[in-house]
Amino acid sequence: MSSKKPYNCNISALGHYVPEKVIDNKYFENYLDTTDEWITERTGIKERRYLEKDQPTSYAATKAVEELLKNRNMSPDEIELIVLTTVTPDMIYPSTACIIQNNIGAKNCWGFDLIAACSGFIFALYTGAQFIKSGTHKKVIVCGADKMSLIADPDDRNNIVLFGDGAAAFLLEPGEDENYGIIDAVARIDGSGGRNLCQLAGGSLHPASHETVDKKMHFIYQDGRTVFKDAVKGMADVSLEIMKRNNLKSEDVAYLVPHQANHRIIAAIAGRMGVSMDKVMMNIHKYGNTTTASIPLCIYEYWADGKLKKDDNIILSSFGAGYTYGSIYVKWTL
Ligand code: ACO
């Protein structure tokens, strides 16, 4: 066994895509028993973006990866691995990673899709980082992309108002200084929560049939109140664990980057962590819950606006169907 230290893993470039079509809360007032006031107060969401009918998830993901390549001034042929995370793949197979690879013309890479619902990006980032840290790969793309507008029942006020579409991608590369980049991660699954948040049909348990369509089993099902409570506990627990084992006090944290599900969930987690709301990244008001894109979209925007700086300690935190939950500690380098 070699005693050589593992490489560290930096986030070295970012890209994103949000659809042009904006759907504000008033849109739902036209046909559902809901109001802009209720949605804003109970969720923090003012508007969300929708992809067009002929734009699948891979459309948004490809745009995000193309922007990343441009930002890094890099040829697609340099990419060695694409880890794509989504709950709305273009098809069950081939993987959406293959579709992106073909769209961008990356000739020297492999890749796969990873399913962990709203924790998808944290699990994918943790996974992608291992290929850099082990020294086997030098350029890994991690991309979260979802078209949630397709799987939320437009007639269900409990769900349709919450979700939006989008994509964002990070490039991972080895760095010189082990005190920077992706420092630590905590990831957990708890299948006992599976029934509280799921898409029942379309898999081998309930294959697509007239009955599954009639019963709306291809849409998101959730027990919102239970998920709310479990999300606060799960996200706070893993975030506090990662802070503790890296000797980080709340004042050392430049930003908490929570999954953007509900502003009340986010405020409750920040409270438990002792992090003030001015240190919490938020864009839920503009995009709603974009599932796997939510965390990287937030980071992209704060970085692009110059609010995220080199040396900042950031704590990423997520919770989603599964249950899946996790937290990553990054010391920012860009
Ligand atoms: N407009 C008006 N009324 C609504 C709406 C709406 N859009 N949606 C729900 N209501 C009603 C409910 O029907 C209920 O009415 P009832 O008492 O007559 O049955 C009432 O509001 C209160 O319902 P609650 O469930 O208590 O409302 P709550 O304040 O908890 O908000 C919500 C519901 C927004 C779904 C919340 O529970 C939530 O955010 N849960 C987390 C779910 C989530 O984000 N899941 C996404 C994936 S997992 C994750 O990302 C963490």
Q: Do domains 8-179 and 182-331 have the same CATH topology?
A: yes
Pairing of strands 165-175, 110-114: unpaired
- Closest atom of ligand 1 to 160 CA is 7
Q: How far apart (Å, rounded) are the C-alpha atoms in residues 275 and 289? A: 22
Q: Which fold has domain 182-331?
A: Peroxisomal Thiolase; Chain A, domain 1 (3.40.47)
9 is catalytic: no
Q: What is the pLDDT of residue 7?
A: 82
Residue 32 per-residue DSSP state: S
Question: Which SS3 state, helix, strand or coil, does residue 140 take?
Answer: strand
289 carries an active-site annotation: yes
**pTM as predicted:** 0.96
Ligand 1 mean position, distance from CA 323 (Å): 18
Q: What is the pLDDT along the chain (334 residues), one digit of tens a residue?
A: 445 566 899 999 999 999 999 999 999 999 999 999 999 999 999 999 999 999 999 999 999 999 999 999 999 999 999 999 999 999 999 999 999 999 999 999 999 999 999 999 999 999 999 999 999 999 999 999 999 999 999 999 999 999 999 999 999 999 989 999 999 999 999 999 999 999 999 999 999 999 999 999 999 999 999 999 999 999 999 999 999 999 999 999 999 999 999 999 999 999 999 999 999 999 999 999 999 999 999 999 999 999 999 999 999 999 999 999 999 999 999 9
Residues 8-179: name the CATH superfamily.
Thiolase/Chalcone synthase (3.40.47.10)
Nearest to 183 by CA among 311, 319, 292: 311
Q: Where are the domains of the chain?
A: 8-179, 182-331
Tell me the C-alpha distance between 141 and 15, whole Å. 10
Choosing from 161, 227, 284 the residue with most ligand 1 atoms within 8 A of its CB, the one to mutate for a pocket test is: 227
